[in-house]
């Protein structure tokens, strides 16, 4: 698994500090740096910022082998049948999706943020959530080793 093989916990702590800095900077900009915004709008923006969720690197459950194995219970993977594996994966996740229908969505669940190897950072306005997958730190780790 990507997190266990290629990701150091120190990098997650560094990213958490960066996100704390970003939040403080956003708050400073909203409260002090914007003259044209009415105070009532600034207050709502501050409330929204405080309520904003975050997903940083990976959830600690990713490193729990038992939980990950339980999640994939019933998935059939072969070492010599790529096409069959693709079909099995599609069927497995489709059935998983069907089983979630009409159930309440937990947007903070680690299962909703499974693209940990993705090299990107994002903000989801529909859920007021920012994400920094573990893959984005691979770039800074690579730069540190080069410099």
Q: What is the pLDDT of residue 58?
A: 77
Q: What is the pLDDT of residue 91?
A: 94
Tokens of 55: 């997903």
Q: What is the pLDDT of residue 145?
A: 55
Phi, psi dihedral angles at 40 (to 5 degrees) = -65, -35
- Sign for the CA dihedral angle at 138, 144, 145, 146 comes to positive
CA dist 89 and 74 (Å) reads 11
Quickly tell me which residue has 């093989």 as its tokens: 5
Q: What is the pLDDT of residue 13?
A: 84
Q: What is the pLDDT of residue 61?
A: 72
Query: 10 Å Cβ neighbour count for 43?
Result: 13
Q: What is the pLDDT of residue 140?
A: 55
CA dist 30 and 120 (Å) reads 25
DSSP, collapsed to helix, strand or coil, labels residue 131 as: strand
For the chain, which ranges sit under pLDDT 70? Answer: 1-4, 6, 107-108, 110-117, 137-147
Q: What is the pLDDT of residue 82?
A: 96
If residue 46 lies in a helix (H) or strand (E), which one and from where to where?
helix 39-51
Cβ-based burial of 14 (10 A; exposed 0-12, middle 13-18, buried ≥19): middle
Phi, psi dihedral angles at 123 (to 5 degrees) = -125, 130
Q: What is the pTM of this model?
A: 0.63
């Amino acid at each position: 698994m990507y997190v266990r093989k290629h990701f150091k916990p120190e990098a997650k702590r560094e990213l958490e500090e960066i996100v704390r800095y970003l939040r403080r900077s956003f708050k400073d900009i909203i409260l002090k740096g914007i003259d044209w915004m009415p105070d009532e709008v600034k207050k709502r923006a501050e409330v929204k910022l405080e309520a904003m969720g975050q997903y940083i690197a990976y959830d600690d459950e990713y490193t729990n082998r038992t939980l990950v194995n339980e999640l994939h219970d019933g998935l059939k993977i072969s070492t010599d049948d790529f096409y069959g594996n693709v079909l099995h994966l599609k069927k497995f996740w489709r059935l998983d999706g069907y089983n979630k229908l009409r159930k309440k969505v937990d947007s903070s669940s680690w299962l909703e943020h499974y693209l940990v190897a993705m090299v990107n950072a994002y903000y989801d306005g529909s859920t007021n959530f920012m994400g920094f997958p573990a893959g984005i730190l691979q770039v800074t780790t690579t730069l540190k080793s080069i410099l």
